[in-house]
Chain A
């Protein structure tokens, strides 16, 4: 099958194309030099053409997402999708059902999404949901920052064994990256206790968060994994946590080997708070961005909040408990043996609330103060900051000072006074938007065939009805917002799946997972060791734990060279 996308204004940052009128040719799911005259023509005149969106961090599948759905029938009640000719029914709002998730991403021109927190023992569940999430390519990050075996190996200085174990885990769970959530702190929460500082000891394990972060960062580079360690830092529940964020980046800085980054710090808005209490909380974005601007080894995603009701959910069970106490809202907790935990709490961000307004400002300040758009990815940490369907709103804030001012005029006055945001003039260009929403995220994930429109790339393409040569996004941000809400076309693997913002075909994408190469001798030893510990620690048999490749609908293994 062939497609020719004609006359669009193309933004393809990875190939250095920044708003040029050009045609894009597609054959059999890939971008090619040219196509035959029989190719179907998509007229993109007056529109912009970008690679399909790549979301690096969005909680869309797995046990805690489903716990959120289960706990909140009131969330779905008013937002539902009728069954239609090309699409299944479902529900939406902050925790959409799997089909709706896929459709709503596709409607916005997104074609690849990563679930960033999969509890290993429940990875099968994550994959079952991903398999029933249509339209997008996907993958999941494996939670390892509180794993007993990881902590035992690192404490005992067994870095090689730890490397083998991480490799075994990624393969067993069909995971894509090493995820750390409140390293050591979630284990402490297993006892209802807290680990706050990087050098506090994890109860009964004789190890500190710092040692876990350093150890897994080392393992990550030993295995040459495509994505750096993906870290949700410690101390998220507290004011003053921006210091922990900086210290976390700093602790692996001596391991840095230039580009690419060796640490991805996630949803930094939540860990960018300065001050000593909720009363005097301020933005720590300046300090954090100053670190990122000076040092090239760290990248982050924003986790922008959106005012309104949403559902917060993380593997950081202790954080979620404190949010429940703070908000008085209902609370689900789900600790996972040997590995991790999770919590879910509904939350409403209010413009009039001082702390919420500061949080909103921190996110945008980070995005605007970090100079290199390749190292500040756009997310809402869906659904934690707000549902992913609000991305167009974030895009408008980034591109338009006027859009920001409009929201600023409605937020809590004290927050407005204390934020740096009103004084920031920077406005993102469309090229920069393409960077923070697809090119940079794809590059950070090491997905070489995603996030660009060069020959050989996957033909995942988004076309938005914005006439880049006629409109001024700074003034006409509403037009931009509307265009990004409903793509004129979304093309997945060379097929038109969305037209005029409507799903015209249901397709299923691939699931990426990473298969690290490790010496068989080491793997043998690790397997024996793990098997023995399984008996004592787990409640499932070693033999029933790994997920075979055949279990996934469309698995796609990416080999990592260790």
Chain B
């Protein structure tokens, strides 16, 4: 499950598109790393779904309380990659 190298924005965008869809007015291929998930059209349920699929894909356990503090793709990736470098558990 663990992949070579860090989890990238491309990985996250693929999961976003696949499980939570894409707003017509948003270009997920653009520079979205620091835009808020809410601006990109994703609500809290979408975030639960995205995090479940990211965790499933990369074999990491993501604490739900922590999940809702992750406001942007960059923050989520940082959190996941810290976990990947550690023991697989995402900590705050």
Q: Do A and B come from one complex?
A: no
